[in-house]
Each structure stands twice: as C-alpha cells, then as structure tokens.
Amino acid sequence: CASNIEGKILTIISEFHLRGFSEDPDLQPLLFGLFLSMYLVTVLGNLLVILAVISDPHLHTPMYFFLSNLSLADIGVMSTTVPKMLTNIQTHSRVISYVGCLTQMSLFIIFACMDDLLLTVMAYDRFMAICHPLHYPVIMNLHLCGFLVLVSLLFALFESQLCILIALGFTNFTEVKISNFFCDPTQVLSLSCYDNFSGNMIKYFIGAIYGFLPVLGILLSYYEIVSSILTIPSLSGKYKTFSACASHL
C-alpha cells in the first residue's frame, strides 16, 4: 500500500458493517414503518405505471415504452437497497457479507445507470418528436426503441463490471464500517488502501461517461426543443408542444 496510509490497520475482511440512520432503539420501529411505507408506495406506483402502459393501447408509444422501463429500473434501485435496510432494522444487525456487499453494489450500479441512460434516451425521443415530427414515426420505430433500451442495459452492465473488477482488486481495507445504509460504491471503494493512479483514472472516466455525458445529452436535447418551441407563433401552440415533454419531465 501507499505510504500515505501508513499507520492505519489494514485487514482482509469477510463482511462490512452498515452505519444505518440511528442507534436509538426507540426510533427503530418508527424508521421501519416509515421506510417500509415509502418502499411499498414507490414500488406500487411504478408497477401501476407499467401496468397502465401495457394495458392501454393508446400508450403503446416510444415515450411510454421508455417510461415503463424507467419505472422498472426505479423498482430495481429501491429493491436492491431498502429491503436489506429493513431487515437490518428488524434484526438489529447491520452486518453484510463481502460477497453480499459487492452483489448489492453491482445491482445498484446497473439500475441507477439504467435510470440515467433511459432519461437521456427519453430526452432524445422528445427531441425527435418535437424538432423532427415528420421523420419521428419512421425513425423511432419499435426496433430502434428496443435497441436503445438494450444498449442502455449493456452500458449499465459494463459500468457495473468495471466497478466490481476494481473492487475485487482490493485485498486490504482500512476499516469495515460503511457510512451509509447500503453498499454505496463510492463508500466501498474509499475504504480500501488502494491508491493507484490508473485505478483513479478509471473511476474518473466512468464518472464522466455515465454522469456528465447523460446530463449533457439531456441539456442539448432540451436546448433544441426550447429553440423549436420559441419559433411557434401562438401561445397555445407552444404550450401544446411543450406539454409533450410532461412524461419525461
């Protein structure tokens, strides 16, 4: 290990300890009820979105196809993190195994990355619908929509595997406590004594690709959308056109 972590106790571990929200035993039932309610409402709401899109033929459009996949990714993010936290509250144990932590981290990255990429794809869909309405039905066909979702999934899997490969390269850790209620990737990676320049560059590269580029894509799409809307002479026409972005917003 690098000299800047000299003096710290380094250890090979088989488990981590999640910090959670509070040590007060009187607050545990309140926290359990609060987060269980939020989890059930979130999952139910997203399931209703998916069922509505599937059952209503009027919603069989690219925008709502992407929206249903976004809801599925949201369910995945919540189901990866919250049930483990609820179990920890009930059992009064905050231990998570090394393998379990890496698995949770991997699934969280996949679903969270899918969220980002699907929001970017939906912004592109709205850009095509508003800025190129005549070409929209031809370009945004079922095959392209399925391809964009598949590409988003593949990129999410690629990011997840990169982070897991970096984490598996860690053999020693400075401590075992994670300052979060789940295995947040940044928290897990920061616990290691790993201090390699190329490893840091990989992490920065991942952050730029999966953080900066999706935001840039959304901003550019909406810049073109707003520019097109401003050319519409009537106020009602502007409102009607921009309301087409309501689902994405």
Residue 144 pLDDT more than 80? yes
Q: What is the pLDDT of residue 201?
A: 72
Euclidean distance between CA atoms 42 and 47, whole angstroms: 9
Please state, in angstroms and rounded to a whole number, the distance separating the CA atoms of residues 113 and 163: 12
**CATH no., domain 15-247:** 1.20.1070.10
Q: Which residues 6+ apart lie within 8 Å of 179 measured at CB?
A: 19, 187
In whole angstroms, give the CA distance from residue 72 to residue 43. Answer: 9
Residues in the chain: 249
Angle formed at CA 141 by CA 136 and CA 143, multiple of 5 degrees: 150
Give the Cα separation of 39 and 31 in Å (integer): 12
What predicted TM-score, i.e. pTM, was given to this entire model? 0.84
pLDDT for the residue 90: 85
Query: Where are the domains positioned within the chain?
Result: 15-247
Structural element, H or E, at residue 16: strand 15-18
In this predicted structure, the answer to whether residue 170 has a pLDDT above a threshold of 70 is no
CB 180 within 8 A of CB 17: no
Answer with the residue of higher pLDDT: 51 or 27: 51
- Pairing label, strands 95-97, 177-178: unpaired
| 71-114 pLDDT per residue, tens | 999 999 999 999 988 988 888 878 888 888 889 999 999 999 99
**Average predicted confidence (pLDDT) for the chain:** 84
